[in-house]
Amino acid sequence: MDRAFGVLRDQLGEWGIRENTILWYCSDNGALPRVGSTGGHRGNKGKVYDGGLLVPAILEWPARIKAPRVTRMRCTTSDIYPTLLEITGAKPKKQPVLDGVSLLPLIDGKSEQRAKPLGFWDTTRPGIGTPSAKWMRELLDAQAKGVDLQPHPSSLKAARLPDPKHPLDSFPGHAAWISGDWKLHRIQGGKFGNARWELFNLASDHKEERDLLGREPKRVKQMQVELDAWLQSVARSFNGEDY
């Protein structure tokens, strides 16, 4: 990967556009158990604790970022689109509500405070399997034969709306709401089971070990309201109502 980025950057240089080209790299979410490192954070890939969420990212834009620097502000891949909208000045006519925020103030060194909280939800509803090793083998075999693969059935199903629709009052699975240094967890086992809650201060407890739920009742109540509203918005989008 390092060599590939070098080849890419060299070619951008030959074209004379490297200085004003944005290279933006993000790692996949979380380290697998016993593979890679979570940096000592709780949980692994597929979990909503920080060991399953935090990943490194690198953004290079020589014309705008004059010197290397590090930020610990929490960002997400959902921020890429609104950031590019602001950079390019594009204004979509029918833009649905976005979870992400523009990172241009961060890029320009004007702010390291996130404009709004981050939501996560690992739902119990099964997704579409992506057996990459099998698919890559099929692709390589097809290329060797000089033929094209037909669209996989899963891609044809990807845009189908749920039937029945997802309810707006039940959110099974593990969700979290990160506001500043505070992280609220909502864990609901069954479809209609009661949710249990956890609250951690990530600034002083990056391993998410000391539950402060009972010590911060006002904060918990406010964050619960915000998380519930966000979960409802996700369900409405999933049901197609935002589109």
Looking at residue 68, its pLDDT comes to 93
Local confidence band at 190 (pLDDT 50, 70, 90 cut-offs): confident
| Arithmetic mean of pLDDT, 199-212 | 97
Q: How many CB atoms lie within 10 A of CB 57?
A: 14
Local confidence band at 82 (pLDDT 50, 70, 90 cut-offs): very high
B/e letters for 63-100, b = 16+ CB within 10 Å, e = fewer, are: eeeeeeeeeeebbbeebbebbebeeeeeeeeeeeeebb
In DSSP notation, 107-152 reads HTTS--S-SS-EEEEEESS------HHHHHHHHHHHHHHT-PPPPP
Closest CA to 219 of 191, 193, 183: 183
pTM of the model: 0.87
CA within 13 Å, CB half, 162: 15
- Helix H segments across the chain? 2-15, 80-88, 104-107, 132-145, 153-157, 217-238
Give tens-digit pLDDT for 142-161.
Answer: 999 999 988 888 788 878 88
Looking at residue 30, its pLDDT comes to 84
**Separation CA 208–CA 134 (nearest Å):** 37
| Arithmetic mean of pLDDT, 186-205 | 91
Looking at residue 152, its pLDDT comes to 81
**Separation CA 95–CA 138 (nearest Å):** 37
Looking at residue 239, its pLDDT comes to 94
Q: Could you tell me the end-to-end alpha-carbon distance of the chain, in angstroms, rounded to an integer? A: 37
**Separation CA 91–CA 176 (nearest Å):** 30
Q: Pick the more confident residue, 129 or 237.
A: 237
| Domains, in order of start, for the chain | 2-114 (no CATH), 117-243 (3.30.1120.10)
- Where residue 195 falls (left for φ over 0; alpha for ψ -120 to 50; beta otherwise) is beta
Which pair of structure tokens corresponds to residue 141? 């075999």
**Separation CA 225–CA 66 (nearest Å):** 41
Local confidence band at 128 (pLDDT 50, 70, 90 cut-offs): confident
Looking at residue 34, its pLDDT comes to 83
Closest CA to 172 of 234, 116, 129: 234
Looking at residue 151, its pLDDT comes to 83
